[in-house]
Chain A
Amino acid sequence: MNKYKKITLDGLIYQNPTFMLVLGTCPTLGLISSAFSSMGMGLTVLVVLTLSNIIISALRKVIPSAVRIPCYIVIIATLVTFARMFLEKFLPDLYDSLGGFLALIVVNCIILGRAEAFANKNGVLESAADGIANGLGFTVALTIMGVICEFLGKGSLFGAQIMEFKIGMLATPAGAFLVYGLCIAVFVYIIDGFERWRRVKANKLARENLLNAKEAA
């Protein structure tokens, strides 16, 4: 398989940071009561993650192993501060809605995790692809849960009121926890089902090939 395709599928599906690795739970639970905030947080993490992966990958041979973690933290903190400045200047509504969670991206384990697990060992292009894929995986997961929580918890979608019926609890972090758990269950069920179907298909193909080979012999 093409290595970029593998990186992309891993980040989006097989090693999805939210649903499969259960990383970055703090902003997930804190922000998914609003689809707008969830998507905004996801996109901010995507940008920071991609840039940090690129920079760390480019500097991986320069940074001594003993101080790599402090260096990563400084780089990530710089990028997060830049993201905060950018959002405050150009997207003040999003900046206000993300609140304290924006600064907490510095300690988001997805970013530090990818820096340590991937960017530290791979080239710049692969690291950029990994950052984009993981960032997209995080963004899509947060947006899906944000839509569910906002729709059922507030009766609205991206701020637009859709219906009067609402289950208020789902708009709270406790409700978000419930939705998060259910989403993980559904996601894992789908991935498992797909994997099973792929294995059955591969077995069937292998059996047919074997039979064909026997017949030919």
Chain B
Amino acid sequence: MTVKQFFKSTAFKCIITLTCVLLVSGIFLTIMNGLLAVSDAERFERAINKIYGKSVKTETVAVANYNDNATIDEAYRVKDDGNYLIKSTGKGGYDNGTVTCWIVVNVSGGAVKGIDKVVIESNKGQSYIDRVSDKALNQFTELYTDGIIYTQDLITNATVKGTKTAICNAVNGALDFVNALLGNVTEDIYAEFDFVEYIETKLTSHEVNEDGSITFHIVTKGLKEPSGFKVDITINADGVVTDYTVTENGSTSNTYVGQMHAGILDGTLFEGKDFAGIEAILDNGISLPSDNSGTEISTGATHSNYLCLYAAAFATKNYDKLIVDDGGNEGGGETDEGGTENE
């Protein structure tokens, strides 16, 4: 084919036509993009408007993290009313997922007065996020009291423990951040204890009994599928577990509760054992075994079993830190009538 023939061919016509259509489309869209593009500022304004319910002026606040279970992504002070608008990502969701929420923290007189609104922004791996209804989110506002730490069992109208845990962590993280910003920091007496990786130290408390034993009310974090467990453990003066009761089972469903180690469910696996005895249950210290590693707690609900074992390890290992010292004071917290509470 000669050059002349090519220019007269259908192929050339097709190329020209397609090129023209593409060029015109491209030019049209470029012009339209210039006219209709939504700027970042406008997008932010809209997001704030949607969350806050009205158009407000905000100023950016430098972010910092005061809660291990949440990451503060963005923070704004609303100039109109002094409230804080926090974008917080809560950890500990189902399968180690996260939920990012916008939280409006009501502030008045230099102190947090409540939660005005919680809006879910996004999530990672929470396939049942739709089960968290608006009614469930409204409970953060309704249940607020000074010093509250939200836990998934407080929130009803949603059946997903892991996802609710992540949302609660996001809200708790936002509250801790604003409280820290306002200078109202709560002391965490267990922060320096051993085996706190899977323990909700701010939700855990203990009391000293008349016979010198200590009863821990432990709240664990979630681990992969299971969400947090609540366990009451009593340690006697010799550092031995005398009573072990699971008060709230964090397993995903009854199927997994059924697959848990029977001795963990009724406490017999730990009762009568000190830290060395509990450590001996696993081959490699207190490390998470795999589901098929053949340890005693590898039962098909290994993560649930492990959280319970971890709670027992926490209680037995740290018992001596809470024993009353020579001066009559305990190792941490304030002395109260019935013992010591971490609130």
Residues of A participating in the B interface, judged by any CB pair closer than 8 Å: 62-64, 66-67, 70-71, 74-75, 77-78, 81-82, 85-86, 88-89, 92
Contact = CB atoms under 8 A, between A and B. Distances in A.
Contacts of B56: none
Contacts of B17: 62-64, 67, 71
B10 interface: yes
16 contacts: A64-B13, A64-B14, A64-B17, A66-B14, A71-B18, A71-B21, A74-B18, A74-B22, A78-B25, A78-B28, A81-B32, A82-B28, A82-B32, A85-B32, A86-B36, A89-B37
Interface in B12-30: 13-14, 17-18, 21-22, 25, 28-29
Given A82-B32, A86-B36, A67 B14 contact: yes
B2 interface: no
Given A85-B36, A86-B36, A67 B18 contact: yes
A201 B33 CA distance: 57
A75 B29 CA distance: 11
A74 B32 contact: no
Contacts of B29: 78, 81-82
B21 A74 contact: yes
Given A63-B17, A64-B13, A92-B38, 11 more contacts: A64-B10, A64-B17, A67-B18, A71-B17, A71-B18, A74-B21, A74-B25, A78-B25, A81-B32, A89-B37, A92-B46
Contacts of A92: 38, 46
Interface of B: 10, 13-14, 17-18, 21-22, 25, 28-29, 32-33, 36-38, 46
Interface of chain A: mostly helix, strand, loop or mixed: helix
A88 B42 CA distance: 11
Most chain B beta-carbon contacts within 10 A, residue among A63, A67, A82: A67
B19 to A, nearest CB: 10
Contacts of B37: 85, 89
B8 to A, nearest CB: 13
Contacts of A89: 36-38
A74 B20 CA distance: 11
A71 B17 CA distance: 8
Nearest to A82: B32
Contacts of B14: 64, 66-67
B55 to A, nearest CB: 14
A159 to B, nearest CB: 12
A115 to B, nearest CB: 13
A106 B28 CA distance: 17
Give me the 6 closest cross-chain CB pairs, A-B, nearest first: A78-B25, A85-B36, A67-B14, A89-B36, A64-B14, A71-B21
A77 to B, nearest CB: 8
A78 B25 CA distance: 6
Contacts of A74: 18, 21-22, 25
Contacts of B38: 88-89, 92
Contact of A88 (B10, B22, B36): B36
Nearest to A89: B36
Given A88-B38, A89-B38, A75 B13 contact: no
A35 to B, nearest CB: 19
B33 A85 contact: yes
